[in-house]
Amino acid sequence: MKVRKDIILLITSASGLLVGCLLLFFGARSAAEIVWGFGGLAGLVPAISWVVASIKQKDFGADILAIFSLVGTLATKNFLAASIISLMLATGRSLESWAEARAERELTSLMARVPQFAHVVAKDGSLSNISIDLVEINNRVYVKSGEVVPVDGVLISIAEVDESALTGEPLPVTKDAGEPLQSGVVNTGSGFEMIATATAELSTYAAIIRLVTQAQSHSSSSIRLANKWSARFLPIALLFAILTFTFTHSLARTIAVLVTATPCPLILAVPVAVVSGISRAAKAGILVKSGSVLEQLTKIRVVLLDKTGTLTHGGPKVSQISWAPISSEREVLSIAASLDQFSPHVVARAILAEAKRQEVEILPTTNVTETHGQGVSGKIFDMNFFVGQVAHLPSWPNWLDQNHSLMVGVYRDQELLGVIGLDDPIRDESLTLLTALRKLEVEKIYLVTGDRLESAQIVADQVGITDIFASVSAEDKLNIVATAQQEYPGGVLFVGDGINDAPALTKADVGIAMGSRGISAASEAADAVIVVDSIGKLIAAIKIAKLAVRKAFQAATIGMSLSLLAMTMASFGWLTSSVGAGVQEFIDALAVVWALTTLSSSKTSH
């Protein structure tokens, strides 16, 4: 593997240089030269293999100059310079490999989330666990509370499920018997039975995995920053060497030119700037999986945003409380929270959170019973209360002026005391997101969601998005990204957090997942993950990327400019190969120090 070869070269070249220096210190110069020579050869062999591989990919980079330098220093027996060049080559490669190693694990967690077993109900009513691959159409399948639905099916009994990862719908939904159910959704209520309508291979979740794999296979390979820039420096360096030999006929001067032309500022400083950018992003709560992602982020012109969990918080939150004249806001919330403290339901948790925020009293409650899909009942002060679905009202009370995604009624002996309205609220930072993206030269911004158009339109109007794709599937999102890439090649970014976002995240030039809720499919398919609950970090990610790439370019420019000066001096015979190697190390250090300022610059927001 590439990473293993880099590590071996790094250890070998560093050890050789150190051992040679120790031998020289103790007066064994001949032995030191031999060790340094082997260190130079250790760098030459993999450098040749890298160049061959690059040529096959039509990618000519910094390693070609490294080969010329190593061959020249070894041929002229300047073994110390050869050993130093080998170490610089190994260090740059190792840094870059470290930065990009995580990008190869995109499907790991996606596959891990796939259920491995299903609970099949036999004709005698007994339950058996079988491999998901053995589930057949028309099998009765039992899904326990909290489990992922293993295959597509039709419900036998009522069920409450969280479909947000597939559809973008933020609130749990109740499904009646006879309704279809897709694999990949989560059972948030009691256990239920269903009839399998597809095998695991042909179910929804498996199809999404295939889409991710397909999108990965069509992803273009990234070009290393160092390679791209050194491709411009390579002909200049070779021209210098050719002109030097043509006019001076001095092999020593020509080798000195090649030594000072060693692209260590590119090999080392550029990866340092990139890794520094990755480190800085991590401190800001953004995990960037590869250095090429930073470069790609600077080219973004189109941003596609998911709704649920991206522009919104992704879960229910109390928006409004209405109450009858015989009650009060605090009484309604207190009764609801007192009953809901016994329920694991996500809506119950949202009501409890609001009660805690308002510091209302939690009352002693007895005889608590939760009816699946309906609500919670119990006794408070010997009176019967119920919190749950708002029953059909013959007429809408004058005091009830709500129109929220979910409305929870609070009853005392079947008398409606109040209604608690809940929504999936928009993130505060979403309101300023578009303005910030425009300042970063983003030209088009779209809302892409599996949710209903009505819900999508409300969010779009609040944040200022005019272009909406609603009620779209995972495949639809993938196609939307592909269409955008045709108009803006290399400049499309997708942001999402659900399983249905995974194919689009993989296909986009840059995919960023909102990973604070831990949905592994999106996080693993993405190029970067925002691990804190803030869409505002998207702006920080782009700013950090621009800073890192700018610092890398500046470090390379400084290093290459000084290298050109050193090459000129070497061509006139003012620098020997040994002195040139020392000068080159000074240039490298200066370029690296400048690259490290990526970590300390104050021009990005956190």
Least Cα distance to 196 among 154, 231, 163, 228 occurs for 154
* pLDDT given at position 392: 67
Mean pLDDT by 10 residues, the chain (606 residues): 66 88 90 90 84 69 72 81 79 62 46 76 86 90 89 89 69 83 85 90 72 52 57 81 91 83 69 83 82 89 92 87 94 95 84 93 91 86 91 78 85 93 89 94 94 87 94 91 94 87 90 70 77 87 93 87 91 84 77 83 57
* pLDDT given at position 228: 66
Answer whether 88's CB lies under 8 Å from 268's CB. Answer: yes
The predicted-structure confidence for 137-151, as pLDDT tens digits, reads as follows: 989 999 998 888 989
CA separation for the pair 345, 172 (Å, rounded): 9
* pLDDT given at position 520: 54
Question: Which residue intervals of the chain bear CATH 3.40.1110.10?
Answer: 317-423
- 366 - beta bridge partners? 379
CA separation for the pair 434, 436 (Å, rounded): 5
Instruction: Work out whether the CA dihedral 343, 349, 353, 358 comes out positive or negative.
Output: negative
Least Cα distance to 548 among 586, 600, 588 occurs for 600
Sheet holding 444-448, edge to edge: 286-288, 528-530, 510-514, 492-496, 302-305, 444-448, 467-469
* pLDDT given at position 596: 82
Answer whether 480's CB lies under 8 Å from 449's CB. Answer: no
Answer whether 118's CB lies under 8 Å from 130's CB. Answer: yes
Give the β-pairing of 117-121 and 140-143. antiparallel
Cut 0.75: pTM above it: no
End-to-end CA distance of the chain: 36
The predicted-structure confidence for 374-383, as pLDDT tens digits, reads as follows: 889 999 999 9
* pLDDT given at position 324: 94
Give me the architecture of the 317-423 domain, per CATH.
3-Layer(aba) Sandwich (3.40)
Instruction: Give CATH superfamily name and number for 279-313+427-542.
Output: HAD superfamily/HAD-like (3.40.50.1000)
CA separation for the pair 469, 456 (Å, rounded): 8
* pLDDT given at position 105: 47
Answer whether 406's CB lies under 8 Å from 415's CB. Answer: no
Question: Which residue intervals of the chain bear CATH 2.70.150.10?
Answer: 115-147+151-202
CA separation for the pair 321, 419 (Å, rounded): 6
CB-based burial of residue 277 (10 Å sphere; 0-12 exposed, 13-18 middle, 19+ buried)? buried
* pLDDT given at position 213: 59
* pLDDT given at position 169: 64
Which DSSP helix (H) or strand (E) runs through 496? Answer: strand 492-496
CA separation for the pair 573, 255 (Å, rounded): 11
Residues 6+ apart with CB under 8 A from 504: 215, 304, 448, 474, 477, 478, 480, 481, 494, 496, 511
* pLDDT given at position 606: 45
Question: Which residue intervals of the chain bear CATH 3.40.50.1000?
Answer: 279-313+427-542
Least Cα distance to 312 among 541, 174, 514 occurs for 514
CA separation for the pair 454, 471 (Å, rounded): 10
Q: Which two tokens stand for residue 105?
A: 């694990």
What CATH code is assigned to 115-147+151-202? 2.70.150.10
